[in-house]
A and B are shown apart, each in its own frame.
Chain A
Amino acid sequence: MSAHFLIVEALKKVYPAQGGGGTNAPVFEDIHFHIDKGEFVCIVGHSGCGKTTILNVLAGLEEATAGDAFMDGREVRGPSLDRGVVFQGHALMPWMSVLGNVAFAVKSKWPEWSKEKVREHCAGYLEMVGLGDALDKKPAELSGGMKQRVGIARAFAIQPKMLLLDEPFGALDALTRGTIQDELLKIVQATHQTVFMITHDVDEAILLADKILLMSNGPHAKIAEIVEVTMPRQRTRAGIHHDPQYYRIRNHLVDFLVNRSKTYAGVEAEMFHDPRNPPLVQPGLDGERAPVLALPTGMAAPQLKQVINH
């Protein structure tokens, strides 16, 4: 085993068919990828390709049908305080105050801490997400964006080795989303947190990620490519679209989602796609170069040419 922080090997999920008899086609199979310490990895793909299932497997909330995940050299078995999760629907307990919600997590991690210490610790993290003066409010009194911030503070407060974010900004309006993205970016840059995040938002992925995993459509979904975001790490939402790399990466991602995500599944794909080692592409550096594929010599991949022309 190499020194990667998180390793996912041959992950596969099959949901039992409705009515008991027979089995469905696997949602995804042959999922291989790894994440290094301090890396921010986004996973992008159409609905139904099993992104959330992969995240739940990493969180330990769901079991894969086959395959393994290792974090820090240990197999992922069941949920753990080492992995903080930010849920799509914020998942705050409405009967607890903002502070109470974070304190619930902190007390789970450090049960021996005194009340004052817990409060201080929680307040610090809530201040970090800009909620320093809303400690005693109930979640119902907060806006959607503020609730999601509490969710983020709760996940950071237990200082997990890895953070798992399931479309954390999906339910927010564009303006709020932008502000929280900026905050998350700042926090992650400051803490060098390892993050795995699901998103539907291509711009969000480019802004935040070091690597973007592109998933083909389900069933039989696979990791089609890994896009490296080659822009410098110090990005801002305001300046990022002035970088010439930005649109090359963005076009590449959108092309994938619109045109190519379908064709990577099935017989056609298996001829030239090795799921154990999905091609790593850097569309930002060289828009003219075709993705580095393990193609047999002389074999053309028409759908890829189409991409390059865009």
Chain B
Amino acid sequence: MRSLKLKAAVISLLLFLLFIGAWHMATLPKESTGLAGADAEYAALMGKGAEKSGGFPPPLEVGRAFVKYLADPVYDHGPNDKGIAIQLGHSLARVGLGFFLAVLVAVPLGFVIGMSPLLLRAFDPFIQVLKPISPLAWMPLALYTLKDSNVSGIFVIFICSIWPMLINTAFGVASVRRDWINVARTLEVNPLRKAFLVILPAAAPTILTGMRISMGIAWLVIVAAEMLVGGTGIGYFVWNEWNNLALPNVIFAITMIGVVGMLLDMIFGRLQQLVTYRE
């Protein structure tokens, strides 16, 4: 088992080096040909000097962006120049708030729907229609009614994280084993105790799966939402750096989005492990 992990790590490292190597080779500055006889000064005037830039950034240049941003992650030099930690913090705060509100709505509602076959059927058409709507399609409505870009961003996160949680909670609650419910019934357990001590723990793994999916979607959506609403956040940062044509920074931001997304998923994976029971 350990040697398998070790081997996998070695192969991962090799793949990474191979990727960086290929990237480096592909972005090597091309030898300026055809200008051999020309005046160096003229060449410089034409912008074709020794240092050739403007193509896809080579790994070294991106590496410098990593060092620059990670060395000082929390500076704040005005609206268009903030440290990466601040930008990520803004995004995480939006995702966290929207997600939290979605939990508050989806878990109790899913619980009620899951307990009642009647309500499950009654709510089903709405869920089926609302679920496939791209969360960003809500943006104009949100901006018009909420009149605040920041709140609209949070609303978009809310609306996109609610569905997987709602569906999974309802499904988890509806499929709690009959036997466990019957045990609670024969013991005349009151409804509140039954909900918290039997149904909730029985459905917890399914509910947590829903939360994990929701969090994944929320992190995907926040980048796009922030590109639209602007101001702060990692999505805005990406768009801002694109406007600056600073591709190394864009690549840096993309990597950060991936790393934070992975960490969020790991946290939910751990939570899922905590509530999973072995039968």
Contacts and interface: CB of A to CB of B under 8 A. Distances in A.
B and A form one assembly:
yes
Interface of A: 59-61, 79-81, 83-85, 87, 89, 91, 93-95, 104-105, 108-109, 138-140, 158
Interface of B: 177, 179-180, 182-183, 185-189, 193, 197-198, 201-202, 204, 275, 277-279
B278 A138 contact: yes
29 contacts: A60-B185, A61-B182, A79-B185, A79-B186, A79-B187, A80-B186, A81-B187, A81-B188, A84-B186, A85-B182, A85-B183, A87-B179, A87-B182, A87-B183, A91-B179, A91-B183, A93-B180, A93-B183, A93-B201, A94-B277, A94-B278, A95-B201, A95-B275, A108-B187, A108-B188, A108-B193, A139-B279, A140-B278, A158-B187
Question: What 5 A-B pairs have minimum CB-CB distances, sorted nearest first?
Answer: A91-B179, A140-B278, A108-B187, A94-B277, A95-B277
Nearest to A59: B186
Contacts of A60: 185-186
Contacts of A95: 201-202, 204, 275, 277
B118 to A, nearest CB: 17
A83 B182 CA distance: 13
B180 A91 contact: yes
Given A87-B179, A140-B279, A93 B187 contact: no
Contacts, number: 58
Interface majority SS (helix, strand, loop, mixed), chain B: helix
A61 B185 CA distance: 8
B271 to A, nearest CB: 15
A153 to B, nearest CB: 13
Given A83-B186, A93-B183, A93-B198, 5 more contacts: A81-B186, A85-B182, A87-B179, A95-B277, A140-B277
A148 to B, nearest CB: 13
Contacts of A94: 277-279
A124 B137 CA distance: 62
Contacts of A140: 277-279
A79 B188 CA distance: 7
Contacts of B185: 60-61, 79
The interface centre, meaning the residue of A59, A81, A104, A158 with most chain B CB atoms within 10 A of its CB, is A104
